[in-house]
Structure 1
Amino acid sequence: MKPDTKKLFRQYSIWLLFALILLSIGYVVERLTTVEKNQQAMQKAEATHSKQWRKIATLKEDVAEMKGKQSIIISDVSLLKSAHIRH
């Protein structure tokens, strides 16, 4: 190789190495931001999930309370019917 060719080859090699380093840094930064976004999405999903379970628990309590009231109403209606039949 001529001295000029060696010099050009060395310059291109340095620029290529520099470009590869920049690409590697960009890739690492992109991966880190993706991981962070995924973690935030998971936290949001977990919060939504727990809210939904709390709503379900509240609804179950409401249903149990309504069933209790319904049984009281049914027994009251039965008493009224039996009292009405007696008179």
Structure 2
Amino acid sequence: MIALAITCLLVAALFATLLSATDSLMRGWHSYGALAKELRALRAMPQVSSAEICFGKTRMPACRQARRPARQLRSAAAAIRAAA
């Protein structure tokens, strides 16, 4: 009786493992197919510079100005103003 219970548990675990592996395999296959389709569409597009690409409704981030380096020496007048 114990051997039958152990065998049933092993079969159930094997079945669950096969279902999980199959699900992962199918998800990977579909995402690979979507990626391949997107790459084919990109290759079919005419070659234009990246500045000319129209992104439709995609919102592009604004350009930020570069920060001043931290080690840059500040003038004495700026230090006096900051202390005031």
Shorter chain as denominator, the TM-score bin is 0.5 to 0.7
RMSD of aligned C-alpha atoms?
1.1
Q: Which structure's CA Rg is the greater one?
A: 1
Distance in 1 between residues matched to 2:43 and 2:34, nearest whole Å: 14
Deviations 1:39-71 (A, max 9, x none): 00001100100010010001xx237xxxxxxxx
Runs of 4+ residues over 6 Å off in structure 1: none
2:7 corresponds to: 20
1:30 corresponds to: 17
- How many residue pairs get matched? 48
Q: Identity percentage over the alignment?
A: 15
Distance in 2 between residues matched to 1:25 and 1:49, nearest whole Å: 36
Please give the TM-score of this superposition, normalised by the length of structure 1.
0.53
Distance in 2 between residues matched to 1:41 and 1:31, nearest whole Å: 15
- Whose helix fraction is larger, Structure 1's or Structure 2's? 1
Unaligned runs of 5+ residues in structure 1 are 1-13, 64-87
Deviations 1:12-35 (A, max 9, x none): xx0010000000000000000100
SS of the aligned residue for 2:26 comes to helix
Distance in 1 between residues matched to 2:13 and 2:37, nearest whole Å: 36
Please give the TM-score of this superposition, normalised by the length of structure 2.
0.55
